[in-house]
Chain A
Amino acid sequence: MEFVEFENVSLRYAEDGPNAIENVSLSVKEGEFVSVVGPSGCGKSTLMKLISGLKPPSDGYVYVNGRQVGGPLGIVGMAFQAANLLPWRTTLENVMLPMEIVEPYRSTRKAKRAEYEQMARDQLARVGLAGCEDKFPWELSGGMQQRASICRALIHKPRLLMLDEPFGALDAFTREELWCMLRDLWQQQPFTVILVTHDLREAVFLADTVYVMSKRPGRILVRREIDLPRPRDLEVTYTDAFSAHVQVLRESIGRVRES
């Protein structure tokens, strides 16, 4: 069994309502970088909730790390579609939140306070938020909040990182910078990533495998392996092979939208 397994999973938000996602089966290997694309409202965020254990499936089974998901696990780091920073905490305190919950950080956080704080500061600097540590979330722009929330998802070195449109509110340059940051982090010490995005170039540049979902109820329509050699530089986005992948995905999404 792979690291993340979906077996014919469906989810309804209301007891007798329509399915948000329907009959989804997929498997993600440990260390794999997966992207999920699909039209708005097709159930991508729902998929994330199922993997992180925030919602139990209505039908089917979800396995993470060899066990059926019965509730949230500490091995997951999640950046939600909205930044969801706690408004009463400074940016630094927000980033350090997982260390107050997840072991082994939780029990050692008094003793290693300085070290952990430095980790958080380094992480913030990596996404270009140096100097914002003591600001409150409402003093940050939307894109800055998003970046802080990515830091929060990463800080406890999760084995499974889930990012729900994390770069949505960013300009093209910052976005590409953060692509490279994520690529480097992942290359240094591989962990599993599931990235939801609307940006096909982003999906192809970062992922090993891209899944395309149908309109609601969400189903997996296409699974495409991106065989571009690694490590990938931004230059790769100008190659024909890259464009071909993007083109194929674009067509399949076009078909989804027409159907």
Chain B
Amino acid sequence: MRISSKWAYRLAPWLLTLLVIVVWEAVCRGFDVKPFLFPAPSAVVKTGWELFGPIMEHATHTFMTTLVGFAIAVVVGAVLGMVVGASPITYKALYPMLVGFNSVPKVAFVPVLVVWFGIGTIPAVITAFLISFFPVVVNVATGLATLEPELEDVLRSLGASRLDILFKVGLPRSLPFFFASLKVAITLAFVGSVISETVASNMGIGYLMMGASSSMNMPLVFAGLIVIGAMGVVMYELFALVERRMTRWANRGQHSGL
């Protein structure tokens, strides 16, 4: 790749973001849109700066909630994925139930969680977990179930046990699938925790936005949205980086050097 195109590659996302902000600002000013309907970026930034302390406090809370839910999802998802992918029979047995469960909107679940655990952080953690474990399960199971029989035969011909095969080929083979699922799961976990916070919490970005919108403080609502989006992007990129580091062999020939 030439130097100039490499830079273009790196700068492209930043330039596009900048462009969107500029257009957004121009539209709000040009058409004189009321800030309580659709605030300009400048208004959002101004509010964000004034309320920096409280926003950060709520954001930290949401972040921690999300991470805890995500961590549980990763552990449960990986274990469940191994069970599902381990044999055709468990795959057949568990898959319909998992798909059915995943089709239920998790918002509909929050009231149930509130009855069980009360208003607060626990429903948010659980919602984050519920919404984000599915991609992990599916990916780990797919990684195990699509293992090439030839690679399995290499181990089998040596007299390896099923456990050996799982540890020496099954799991290494499904690691790229696992890491690919993490970046999807982390963004979903944010969705889950914020949904729950808007409905049933007195802390977190979701709660902050709910309060702001009921008092028509649109700039603050947008500031909240942007903070969530930013956290999502940062975590996504972090896990994308981890993925590239851990599974170089699966990404060979692609833009793995970036």
Contact = CB atoms under 8 A, between A and B. Distances in A.
Interface stretch (B57-65, B108-116, B146-154, B219-227): B146-154
A101 B160 contact: yes
A1 interface: no
A213 interface: no
Interface stretch (B69-77, B164-172, B232-240): B164-172
Interface residues of A, number: 24
Contacts of B154: 78, 80, 84, 86, 97
B172 to A, nearest CB: 5
A54 B158 contact: no
Contact of A101 (B150, B158, B175): B158
A80 B164 contact: no
A132 interface: no
Nearest to B150: A84
Contact of A80 (B150, B173, B247, B249): B150
Interface stretch (A69-77, A176-184, A250-258): A69-77
> Which among B154, B173, B250 has the highest number of chain A CB atoms within 10 Å?
B154
A76 B157 contact: yes
Contact of A72 (B158, B169, B175): B158
A98 interface: yes
Contacts of A88: 172-173, 175, 247, 249-250
A100 interface: yes
A72 B156 contact: yes
A98 B249 contact: no
Contacts of B159: 71-74, 76, 101-102
Interface of B: 150-151, 153-160, 164, 168-169, 172-173, 175, 247, 249-250, 252
10 contacts: A76-B157, A78-B157, A86-B151, A86-B169, A88-B173, A88-B175, A88-B247, A100-B164, A102-B159, A138-B252
Given A78-B154, A101-B164, 9 more contacts: A49-B153, A54-B156, A72-B159, A76-B159, A84-B154, A87-B250, A88-B247, A101-B158, A102-B159
